[in-house]
Structure 1
Amino acid sequence: MVPDVYEDLDVLADRYARAVLVADPPARRRLRDRFVRAALPFAGRLARRYRGRGEPADDLEQVARLALVKTVDRFDPGRGSFTAYAITTITGEIKRHFRDHTWGVHVPRGQQDRVLEFIHARTVLTAELARTPTVAELAGHLGLEEAEVVGAQTSAAAHSTESLNAPLGDADGAEVGDLFGDLDGKLSLVDDRTTVAGLLCELPGRERRLLALRFWGNLSQAEIADELGISQMHVSRLLGRTLTWLREAMLSDTPPPWTGAGGPEHRVLVKARSGGVRAAVHGEIDRDNADQVRRALVAATVGCVRGRRLTVDLSRVPLLSAAGIGMLVAVRAVARGRGVPMVLTGVQPAVARVLVIAGLRELLTEA
């Protein structure tokens, strides 16, 4: 009665409906089977529209064929076109198959629809903004609360999951699940990281900034020098001293005292004597603390009786920068103006060479 392939399914459905009205049950089953076989190519074409979306083509065609059988069994000629009814039913079953079988975890149908809207909105806004949209921008585009957008984003990430039995690279027989429970090589660094974090807080602000620019900002010593307004050689000295202190502090129960600028050990100790005033300077003198040392030495000069000597002890000063030289020149001018002789004692060789080059030899010879 019915050919194996028939293009106009509506005409075919009309003939089938009239034939089953007068047929007995065995004949109805034969008519139904022939009608389904004739409509199978139509179901196959609908299934092929969804190829390449992560599901095997054979599974999709099987779903479409089962949906076709349901369509034939439920078809009522008085309610409209068979083709339209078949398209709606088969397409719906295929989409339901994707919802039920392609998600790695169970997600409610409403949330699945929201995920599809979220993915579409993210694609559109990314094209418009030329960047990844924020949660607030997605929420405004979709008319949702930000919490709902975050939920859709989380659900989208759960769409595809990875099996613990997936092969692990080129290793023979190794699987992803073999990594669970393995030793974490970075676990032993937790104590060191915690200790370093605490020690960094004990460093002066300049040294902390110096380390941040070098190891987090990846700047060269020359670039750091330009940033801080000091010489590249001074940056090298500061880095070496800071890293040496960190290493010593890491290996000791009690951190060693910080003797650089800005630390608690950097100070000027003034003591009055019968022959005048003695000022002992501790720590390096550079642009960050030169003004502080100058004020202390000027105060010591003012407290010195005219004609008595101001003795500046530099035995605890390992470094004297250009700012430090300028500071000593300023203090010497104040001392001369008040009639107070000024001498330097305990000068270390490296500092003495700098003083001689700067023209302050007379302060050394008077010592």
Structure 2
Amino acid sequence: VQVGTIGLINAIDRFDPDRGVQFPTFAMPTVVGEIKRYFRDNVRTVHVPRRLHELWVQVNSATEDLTTAFGRSPTTAEIAERLRIGEDEVLACIEAGRSYHATSLEAAQEGDGMPGLLDRLGYEDPELDGVEHRDLVRHLLVQLPEREQRILLLRYYSNLTQSQISAELGVSQMHVSRLLARSFARLRSANRIDA
């Protein structure tokens, strides 16, 4: 509210009725601009704890002092030594300081030819589909008898043929085929119930 009031006062100071523009039409962009400027300059995109913010101010000050003294940007170790804190704290402060500036979705990412964040929105990661599929299968598999679990694992995770499974379990290949069919029927049924 206070920032909007400042914008309104600025609009009153700059308003010229001789220009033929109504005051609300002139004032609205000024007030909105003042509010946007305030958020841009003073509001963090992520909340940073007070202690870390106060330390961030000290890290910035030390960085400026050391840059002047050395004629180059100081290392993390040099900043930490100056403030008598750990390097990990310096790094945490630097990271916290970045919360003041949001990255545009359209900004190019590091590296040549890398797509921006906007280009990756909605991108489906095929690896994620595999993880979801494995989790679903694992959830359904535990509902089967141990023998059927083992046959499915041998067939689809160890990539054994039905003949190899029958030799390992000491049963006929036809019996393995029947057990696989029964397992699939149970999995389909369990999946319908869970859905």
Q: TM-score, normalised by structure 2?
A: 0.36
Greater share of strand: 1
The higher-RCO structure (CA 8 Å, 6+ apart) is 2
Q: TM-score, normalised by structure 1?
A: 0.21
Greater share of helix: 2
